[in-house]
Structure 1
Amino acid sequence: MTIARGRLDLHFAELLRTHETVAVFAAAGSGKTVQAQLCAADQGWPLAWLTVDQGDRSPSRLLFYLAEALRSVRPGTPSVAETPDLRISIDEVAAMLAEGVPDEPLLLVVDDAEHLVGAEESLEALGVFLDYLPPSIRTVILGREDLDGPIGRMMLQGRIARVGGSDLALEIDETTELLAAHGQGTHDPASLTATTNGWIAAVAFDVVPGLNPHGGPDALAAYLNREVLARLPEAEQDFLLRTSVLASVSARSAVELCGDQGYALWKSLAARHLPATQVDRSLVYHPRFRQFLREELHARMPDELPDLLRRRAGLLVDGHLYEEAVEVYLQADEPDAAADAADHAVTGLCTRADWPTLLRWFEALGPERIRSRPSLQGAQIRVLYGVRRIPEAQALIRRLHEQGALTAVAEADPGVVAFFGYALQWHPADALELMGNYRGDYRSVAVRYELEAVAGRTPVPPPAGIAWTDSERIFSWGLLVQGRLGQLLRLLPAEEDWPPRSFYRTPHPLLALIWQGRLDRARELLDEVPEAVRSGSHTDLWFFHEAWLLWAEGRPKEALDAAEAAVEHSRRTQFGWEPCFGVVVGRLQLALGAIDDARMTLADAISNSAASGNRAYVEWGQTFQGLAFLLADMPTDAVRVLRSATRGMQAAGRDLMLPVAAAYLAEAEARCGDPEAARAAAALAFETAEGMDSLFVLRQALADVPDVLRRQIERHPTDERWRGLVGRPASERRDPAPTRVSSRPMIVEVRTHGPNPDLVVDGSPRGSRRTKVLELAAYLALHPEGVERNRLQERLFPDGDPRRGGNYFRQVVHKLRQATGVSLTRSAQGLVRWPDEVHVDCTDLRFERLTAEAAELEGEERLSRLEATLALVEGVYLPDSDLEWAEQRRHELEVLIVEAALEAARLAFRLGHTQRARAAATFAIDRDPFCEAAYCVRMQVEAQLGSSHAVLAEYHRLTEALSELGVAPAPSTRELMQTLRG
Structure 2
Amino acid sequence: MDDPRQTVPHAVGLIQHKMSVPDVPERLVPRPRIATALGALIERRQVVLVLATAGAGKTTAVSQATARLPHPVAWLSADATDARPGRLLAYLEEVLARHAPAAHQVATRALRAGIQHAESAGLLAESLRGHTLVLVLDDLERLGASGEVWETLGSFLHYLPRTVRAVLVSRRDIPPAVHRRLDLTSVASLREEDLAFTVEEAADALRLNDNTTVDPAQAVSATGGWVTGVLFEAWRSEEHTAVVGGEADPLHGYMSSRILAELSDADRDFLVTAAVLDEVTAERARVLGLAAPARRMQSLRSVRLPVVWSRDGRTMRFHPRLREFLLEQLGRRDDEELRRIRLAHGRLLAGEGHDEEATEVLLLAGEAAEARVCGARVILRVIERLDLPVAERWLDAFGPVGREPHELTTARLMLAWARDDYRGGTAIADALLDAGTRDEVARRSERAAALMIYCYAQCGRPGDVEDILRLAGPGAEVAAVRYSLGTMYPSYRVDTPPELTGGPSDAFVLFAKYWFGHLSDLDISLESHWGTSLAAPWQIAALRAQGHTRRALELYERTRDSVSNSLSLHAVVPELLLDAGRPSEAITALEEGRRLALAAGARTWYLGFTEGLVRLRILDRRDPAVSMALLDGLDNDPLIEQAVQLSAKARAWRGWLLLRSGADADALDCLREAVSLLRAGGLLLELPVAAVLLAEAEWRAGHADEADRAADLALEVSGRQGSHHVLLQVLGEFPAVASRRIDAEAETDTPWHTVGRALAAQGANIQVAERMPAVTVSEFGRHALLVDGAEARLRISKSLELLSYLSSRPGHAADRPRVLEALFARDDRSTRAYLRQAVHQLNLALPPQLRLTVEQNRLSLADEVAQGCQSLLMESDLAHANRLTGRARLSAIEALLARYEGDYLPGRTSQWVEERRRALSRQAADALSSAADLALRLHQYGDAVRLCERATAIDPLREVAWRVRMRAANALGDDDGVLMAFQDCEAALAGIDATPSPSTRRLLEQLQR
TM-score with structure 1 length normalisation? 0.63
Query: Is 2:479 the partner of 1:445?
Result: yes
Identify the residue that residue 55 of structure 1 maps to in structure 2. Answer: 81
Q: 1:360 aligns with which of 385, 393, 400?
A: 393
Any residues of structure 2 matched to 1:93-132 within 5 Å, and which? Answer: 107-117=134-144, 120=147, 122-123=149-150, 126=153
Identify the residue that residue 688 of structure 2 maps to in structure 1. Answer: 659
* Partner Cα distance (2:76, 2:112) in 1: 25
Query: Is 2:505 the partner of 1:471?
Result: yes
Give the CA deviation at 1:249: 0.9
Does the 8 Å CA contact 2:39/2:68 hold for their aligned counterparts? Answer: no
* Partner Cα distance (1:609, 1:167) in 2: 76
| 1:131–1:492 Cα change, 3 Å | closer
Deviations 1:587-608 (A, max 9, x none): 4443433353655666667777
Does the 8 Å CA contact 1:48/1:70 hold for their aligned counterparts? Answer: yes
Where 1:424 maps in the other structure, the secondary structure is: helix
Identify the residue that residue 639 of structure 1 maps to in structure 2. Answer: 668
Any residues of structure 2 matched to 1:196-211 within 5 Å, and which? Answer: 196-205=223-232
Give the CA deviation at 1:194: 1.3
Identify the residue that residue 903 of structure 2 maps to in structure 1. Answer: none
* Partner Cα distance (2:146, 2:327) in 1: 23
Identify the residue that residue 32 of structure 1 maps to in structure 2. Answer: 58
Identify the residue that residue 425 of structure 2 maps to in structure 1. Answer: 393
Sequence identity percentage = 27
Where 2:295 maps in the other structure, the secondary structure is: helix
Where 1:656 maps in the other structure, the secondary structure is: coil
Identify the residue that residue 307 of structure 2 maps to in structure 1. Answer: 276
Give the CA deviation at 1:392: 1.6
Where 1:284 maps in the other structure, the secondary structure is: strand
| 1:128–1:431 Cα change, 3 Å | farther
> Which one-letter code corresponds to 1:462 in the other structure?
T
Where 1:436 maps in the other structure, the secondary structure is: helix
> Which one-letter code corresponds to 1:679 in the other structure?
D
Where 2:621 maps in the other structure, the secondary structure is: coil
Provide structure 1 residue ranges, at least 5 long, that are not aligned to the other structure. 495-501, 744-982
Any residues of structure 2 matched to 1:292-691 within 5 Å, and which? Answer: 292-299=325-332, 304-367=337-400, 371-410=403-442, 413-427=445-459, 429-430=462-463, 432-439=465-472, 441-457=475-491, 459-464=493-498, 467-485=501-519, 487-488=521-522, 493=526, 506=536, 508=538, 515=545, 519=548, 523=550, 527=554, 531=558, 535-538=562-565, 541=568, 548=575, 555-558=579-582, 561=585, 564-565=588-589, 568=592, 571-572=595-596, 576=602, 577=605, 579-580=607-608, 583-594=611-622, 596=624, 610-611=639-640, 613-691=642-720
| 1:492–1:262 Cα change, 3 Å | closer
Would you say how many aligned residue pairs link Structure 1 and Structure 2? 723
Identify the residue that residue 216 of structure 2 maps to in structure 1. Answer: 189
More off after superposition, 54-63 vs 471-480: 54-63
Q: 1:264 aligns with which of 295, 316, 336?
A: 295
Deviations 1:531-562 (A, max 9, x none): 257632246645765655666xxx45237635
* Partner Cα distance (1:52, 1:220) in 2: 22
More off after superposition, 397-406 vs 581-590: 581-590
RMSD, aligned α-carbons = 4.7
* Partner Cα distance (2:217, 2:375) in 1: 55
Does the 8 Å CA contact 1:540/1:567 hold for their aligned counterparts? Answer: no
* Partner Cα distance (1:133, 1:533) in 2: 27
* Partner Cα distance (2:46, 2:743) in 1: 68
Give the CA deviation at 1:93: 5.9
* Partner Cα distance (1:466, 1:687) in 2: 27
Any residues of structure 2 matched to 1:860-899 within 5 Å, and which? Answer: none
Deviations 1:166-219 (A, max 9, x none): 454334344345446656577532211112222111334466789746999955
* Partner Cα distance (1:23, 1:528) in 2: 37
Identify the residue that residue 851 of structure 1 maps to in structure 2. Answer: none
Does the 8 Å CA contact 2:454/2:481 hold for their aligned counterparts? Answer: yes
| 1:591–1:411 Cα change, 3 Å | closer
Does the 8 Å CA contact 1:560/1:585 hold for their aligned counterparts? Answer: no
* Partner Cα distance (1:192, 1:625) in 2: 88
Where 2:316 maps in the other structure, the secondary structure is: strand
Does the 8 Å CA contact 1:374/1:412 hold for their aligned counterparts? Answer: yes
Where 1:246 maps in the other structure, the secondary structure is: coil
* Partner Cα distance (1:142, 1:358) in 2: 30
* Partner Cα distance (1:223, 1:458) in 2: 72
| 1:706–1:409 Cα change, 3 Å | same
Identify the residue that residue 759 of structure 1 maps to in structure 2. Answer: none
Identify the residue that residue 175 of structure 1 maps to in structure 2. Answer: 202
Does the 8 Å CA contact 1:326/1:342 hold for their aligned counterparts? Answer: yes
Does the 8 Å CA contact 1:454/1:481 hold for their aligned counterparts? Answer: no
Deviations 1:555-594 (A, max 9, x none): 4523763574366367448675454455555444434333
Where 2:486 maps in the other structure, the secondary structure is: helix
> Which one-letter code corresponds to 2:375 in the other structure?
A
Deviations 1:405-430 (A, max 9, x none): 12333455432223224433424635
Identify the residue that residue 722 of structure 1 maps to in structure 2. Answer: 752
Give the CA deviation at 1:319: 0.4
| 1:679–1:258 Cα change, 3 Å | closer
> Which one-letter code corresponds to 2:585 in the other structure?
D
Give the CA deviation at 1:449: 0.8
Query: Is 2:281 the partner of 1:247?
Result: no
Does the 8 Å CA contact 1:516/1:693 hold for their aligned counterparts? Answer: yes
Give the CA deviation at 1:460: 1.2
Where 2:102 maps in the other structure, the secondary structure is: coil
More off after superposition, 151-160 vs 426-435: 151-160
Give the CA deviation at 1:121: 5.0
* Partner Cα distance (1:437, 1:160) in 2: 60
Provide structure 2 residue ranges, at least 5 long, that are not aligned to the other structure. 1-27, 760-769, 784-1009
> Which one-letter code corresponds to 1:381 in the other structure?
L
| 1:422–1:56 Cα change, 3 Å | farther
Does the 8 Å CA contact 1:92/1:532 hold for their aligned counterparts? Answer: no
> Which one-letter code corresponds to 1:27 in the other structure?
T
| 1:523–1:604 Cα change, 3 Å | farther
